[in-house]
Amino acid sequence: MNRPLVLRALGLVLLFEAGSLLPALGIALYLQEKAYLAFVLTILLLTFVGLPLSRRQIPVSDVGYREGFVIASASWLLMALFGALPYLVSGAIPGFIDALFEAMSGFTTTGATVLKDIESLPKSILFWRSTTHWLGGMGIIVLTLALIPSLKIAGLKLFRAEVPGPNKSKVLPRVAQTARELYKLYIIVTVACLVALKIAGLNWFDSFIHTFSCVGTGGFSNYNASTGALNNPAAEYIMIFFMFICGMNFTLHYHAIRGNFSPLWRDPETKLYLAVTLTACLFISINLVSMLGYSVGTALRQSAFQTVSILTTTGLTTADYTLWPTFSQGVIFLLMFIGGCAGSTAGGIKNVRYLILAKSAFRQVAKLIHPKAVIPVRLGRSVISEELVENVQSFFFLYFGLLFLCTLMITAMGVDLFSALSAVASSLGNVGPGFGMVGSTANYTAIPEAGRLLCAICMLIGRLEIYTILVFFSARLWRS
């Protein structure tokens, strides 16, 4: 393994994190909050550790699969560990496990929280909390590749180790160029959402917090009642739009803003994503109107917000969906297992995997009728390789295997089955809110501390999509 390259990359990631703390530090100094000491200490520690590592010489700059998996996994672990320090040092979250849970939830854009009174926290802490969403949305490694091409580690293997979804397509020949273009687009979308929310009537602080959540598909709000506390329908519609587009493949947006809309119109995953969204909104709206007497406008707005938020694994809420009819709750629960599109900031299993799995199943039925026929699995005009089909099938097996195993482990801690299943499904899918003890108006303090640590691990596994973490902890990776 090329250890000098790995250590230099990790050092640069830590320096990025130190730089990302500066806006929160500025807010703390401007508002004269005592939390500024926590940010200063964290920045100094990150610089002390990261600077020597980032200056290491790397005689060979090629990235193999080993280096890619190690850099991706270790970067996210270190970011969460150091990112927990402002919570811990400031006293906002006194326990280390809870501080790590909050930091991991932020960077993985899960949005689950252990905080009971969010509004009592310093604004600088709340800003850092939401900043972790924005950093984790597009990806820490993608940011590294985008900003430091001189590192010469812009290998596709590193890109593939982090970018969510089975389709890691490049928009430009070099991965570093692809990373830069994706981050430019990410910044453009962020600014557009920020300005739109400000025009809709939100103050600048609320606009920043909810922009980071929508664009990063995270879920942290600066209010105990989440987005519902804003009581601003115009802002809700803006958030629905930006959550939805950020749940789509960003490479399609890249082509679209350059005038090439054909990949967007032809993409089978986008069509499924749109169909799932509209169908869920329609079913929930009809259920709310017929069972609870909602007006059509209110039912459409609330169903659309909750549907898009849960489907894109954002986790912001404007209503307590646990009080909705059982049918609507069932639809929301199923959406937790779908997620957004490959190459988006959203988490979850991803729509494209369901497409490949369904087409693979139909092919098996066709082969029973015509045993000697050669029937490829197609997505649009593309033929899917057998390797990718097997990868998707294995992913489903591992995903639900981990889901059931971790659920049993949490039930052994005294948590009821439905709450445990909901907590693990929400953590593994990077959704945030769930049902039962971790419902939309609750938090994860009802889960025992060991269970919260397990949920934090599930968040990381879900964000890096299982394989990267499994390889990282595999003994074969570390053998010479």
Any binding-site annotation on 218?
yes
Any binding-site annotation on 430?
yes
3-state secondary structure of 379: strand
Tell me which residue has tokens 């640590």.
Answer: 453
Any binding-site annotation on 296?
no
Runs of H (alpha helix) within 326-473:
326-335, 351-369, 386-411, 417-428, 449-463, 467-472
Residue pair 133/106 in contact by the 8 Å Cβ criterion: yes
Any binding-site annotation on 347?
no
Give long-range contacts, CB 8 A cutoff, 24+ apart: 166-171. Answer: 166/342, 166/350, 166/352, 166/353, 166/356, 166/388, 166/391, 166/392, 166/395, 167/249, 167/342, 167/343, 167/352, 168/343, 169/251, 169/343, 171/251, 171/254, 171/255
Any binding-site annotation on 47?
no
Distance of alpha carbon 361 from the chain centroid: 28
Distance CA 289, CA 382 (A): 42
Any binding-site annotation on 431?
yes
**Encoding tokens for residue 184?**
């430019």
Residue pair 261/223 in contact by the 8 Å Cβ criterion: no
Contacts of 42 (CB under 8 A, 6+ apart): 18, 21, 82, 85, 86, 89
3-state secondary structure of 146: helix
Burial 92-106 (b: 16+ CB within 10 A, else e): bbeeeebbbbbbbbb
User: Within a 13 Å sphere around the CA of 72, how many CA atoms are in the beta-carbon half?
Assistant: 34
DSSP code string of 320-340: -GGGS-HHHHHHHHHHTTT--
Residue pair 5/67 in contact by the 8 Å Cβ criterion: yes
Residue pair 211/227 in contact by the 8 Å Cβ criterion: no
Any binding-site annotation on 249?
no
* Dihedral angle sign, alpha carbons of residues 12, 13, 14, 18: positive
- Binding-site residues sit at 109-110, 218, 313-314, 430-431
- Binding-site residues for K(+) sit at 109-110, 218, 313-314, 430-431
